[in-house]
Amino acid sequence: MSSINLRPIPLIAGLLISLLFAGCAGLGAGQSASGPGAGNPAVAAMLAAAQQDQDAGRLDRAAASLERALRIDARNPAIWHQLARVRLQQGEYDVVTGLAAKSNTLAGADDALRAANWRLIGTARAALGDNAGANAAFANATRLEGR
């Protein structure tokens, strides 16, 4: 009976794992090649449902869908941003700044998303009567949009 050399198996497994991670390296946190939530069908469905509810004015339902999506994919900056938009519509201005700031910490080099978050922060601060804070937030958005 001949002996079988099993040494190449760990090497092949290691190469396959390396290729898997290399394929994901270009994606932002919580993002897939087709957009936010597309890597997870449940998250994509929750985002779509939340957008429909938000468009129809069912803000509590939209927020609930987004909060469920965050429980699955808490590192997705687009979900944090969309929840900040819903909370802005609900008049929860003090909550908006924290949600948009969280989105910014996860957005990486996505200047468009970061600028949109700063605009939400600026709008919320203005609604709270913090004009200096609002102006600073809008200036950050403008700076990011100019890159």
Condensed to tens digits (0 to 9), the pLDDT of residues 42-64 reads: 999 999 999 999 999 999 999 99
The whole-chain average pLDDT of the chain stands at 82
Query: What's residue 103's pLDDT?
Result: 98
CATH number of the domain at 136, please: 1.25.40.10
Query: What's the domain range around 53?
Result: 35-145
- Long-range CB pairs of 43-48, under 8 A, 24+ apart, other chains included: 43/69, 43/72, 43/73, 43/76, 43/79, 46/72, 47/78, 47/79, 47/82
> Into how many domains does the chain fold?
1
Please check whether residue 112 lies inside any domain of the structure. Answer: yes
Higher-pLDDT residue of 36 and 95 is 95
| Model pTM score | 0.75
Please check whether residue 8 lies inside any domain of the structure. Answer: no
Please check whether residue 13 lies inside any domain of the structure. Answer: no
Q: What is the Cα–Cα distance from 119 to 145, expressed in whole angstroms?
A: 11
Higher-pLDDT residue of 26 and 133 is 133
